[in-house]
Amino acid sequence: MQGWAATMTALAVVTALLSLLALLLRKDKQDADIWFAVVSGSLAMSLVSPWMGSAPGWAKWAVAIGGSSTCNGFWLVSRALFRGGRCVQLRHVGMAVGVALLIAIHRGNSVQAEASPTTLLIVNDALLTLMSTSLLALSFLEPLRGWSGQWTLSERRFRLAFVVMYGGSILSTTLTGALADAFPALQPLRGGVVALCASSMIVFTHFALRYRHRNPLPAVNRKSSPSAQANATPCEDDARLIACLQHQLDVLQVYREADLRVAGLAARLGTAEHRLSKLITQQMGEKNFNQLLNRYRVAHACKLLAVRDAHENILQVSAESGFASLGPFNRAFKSLMGCTPSAYRARCLEDGLRDCAGGEFSQLRLD
């Protein structure tokens, strides 16, 4: 069993270090990525800590300090994932740093095997238990905060998966720890289970970060800004609302805004998000809001691609049309037009059809 625990710990340490490397190399880092990079590095040190019996004292202290941003750091990750990076403010970082200090003192004291417990250390351990338990509970509750039926099905499933995965990991390590305290022979099992849960959470969190990159945080409960309220155009009946929507798309070309969300557009129109979504799907015959945006964005891209010697860079055409990156642009374009943007432009230039986008896309919007 000792060998199994050592193997699982080594695997978890490698997983944590690979996670740290992948996050450092990521170009489009969000706040959640940065906080999880800190957690990954700290988790690697934390897992190594129990295996440093013969290491020099300075190395033990370094690992004790470096491994003090695990549960407290993950609380910041959870907060950034489910509230947005701006919700991780200085006071939250200060709280996480305070808990890190308590963890460092606790682990640093364990380095001194012969040190007798003092009142200060007893108080430190009591505070650590209280604070770490609180942050674990907050991390667990973050995905459930403000639960709304207006969220997409994938968003609700994502949050429930986070709750199950995170809660299962905490429950498994807690029960194993209790059993190991009652039955010392199970101590090696404890280390292996902790390492296994750590590896699982690292892998799952990377999937969570990837999901959040592709599916920005829903804005169901956000209050619209004063400027949005000032520019809102109240539309009570469906016909007027559709006319206002068409004005936003055809005249103002709001689809060229890469960060446009259905909640933001609903605020500009002075209506509820769920009502706008329902109108788009039931009255306009679109699959969803994103499909509507993609049609307009691809139409705009077709016009740019059909003009000779203009916007030679496909990435520039993508950005000009409202796509945040090249991958979604290529996928949406091929899905709607049946070919890649490069092939479409080559065909237009070869045939000399500077306005080739017009006829094809006017029909495509009606499909």
Q: How far apart are CA 62 and CA 55, in angstroms?
A: 11
Degrees (nearest 5) of the Cα angle 223, 225, 231? 120
Lowest mean pLDDT among 88-102, 124-138, 180-194, 232-246: 232-246
Domain's final residue, options 214, 249, 267: 214
**Which of 240, 265, 285 is the C-terminal boundary of a domain?**
285
Q: Do 231 and 251 belong together in one domain? A: yes
CATH code of residue 182:
1.20.1070
- Please spell the DSSP secondary structure of 234-253, one letter per residue: ---SHHHHHHHHHIIIIIS-
Mean pLDDT of 21-35: 89
220 within domain boundaries: no
What's the token pair of residue 15? 């997983």
End-to-end CA distance of the chain: 63
- pLDDT, tens digit (0-9, with 9 covering 90-100), for 332-344: 999 888 898 888 8
> Three-state SS for 268?
helix
Same structural domain, 157 and 295? no
What pLDDT is recorded for position 41? 94
Output the six-digit token pair for 6: 């050592």
The CATH number given to whatever domain includes residue 345 is 1.10.10.60
Say if residue 169 is in the same domain as residue 294.
no
pLDDT, residue 223, reads: 42
Q: Which of 92-106, 186-200, 349-363 has the lowest mean pLDDT?
A: 349-363
Residue 362 lies in a domain: yes
pLDDT of residue 103: 87
The CA distance from 78 to 142, in Å, is: 6
Residues 299 and 163 in one domain: no
Q: How far apart are CA 255 and CA 251, in angstroms?
A: 10
Residues 202 and 71 in one domain: yes
Q: Quick one: 185 and 240 in the same domain?
A: no
150 lies in the same domain as 296: no
The answer to the question of residue 221 being in a domain is no
Beta strands in 177-275 (DSSP E): none
Contact between residue 329 and residue 313 where contact means Cβ atoms under 8 Å apart: no
Same domain membership, residue 93 and residue 29: yes
SS (H, E, C) 315-364: HHHHHHCCCCCHHHHHHHHHHHHCCCHHHHHHHHHHHCCCCHHHHHHHHH
- Pair (180, 32) in one structural domain: yes
Question: Over pLDDT 70: what percentage of the chain?
Answer: 85
Taking only the tens place, the pLDDT of each residue in 202-212 is: 999 999 999 88
Q: Is residue 219 part of a domain?
A: no
For residue 69, what is the DSSP state?
-
Does position 56 have pLDDT exceeding 80, yes or no?
no
Per-residue pLDDT, averaged over 15-22, amounts to 95
In terms of domains, do 184 and 305 share one? no
Between CA 315 and CA 292 the distance in angstroms is 21
Question: How many domains are contained in the chain?
Answer: 3
Tens of pLDDT, residues 79-124 = 999 987 678 889 999 999 999 998 888 877 766 655 566 788 888 8
Domain check: are 309 and 362 in the same one? yes
Res. 349 pLDDT band, cuts 50 70 90:
confident
The domain boundary, picked from 214, 248, 269, lies at 214
Residue 74 is assigned to a structural domain of this protein? yes
Domain contains 301: yes
* Greater model confidence, 116 or 132: 132
Dist. CA 194–CA 54, nearest whole Å: 22
In a domain, 246, yes or no: yes
The whole-angstrom separation of Cα 97 and Cα 46 is 16
For 67, the domain range is 2-214
Residue 19 has pLDDT above 90, yes or no: yes
Give yes or no for residue 49 having a pLDDT over 90.
Answer: no
Q: Are residues 131 and 65 in the same domain?
A: yes
- The predicted structure's pLDDT at residue 364: 52
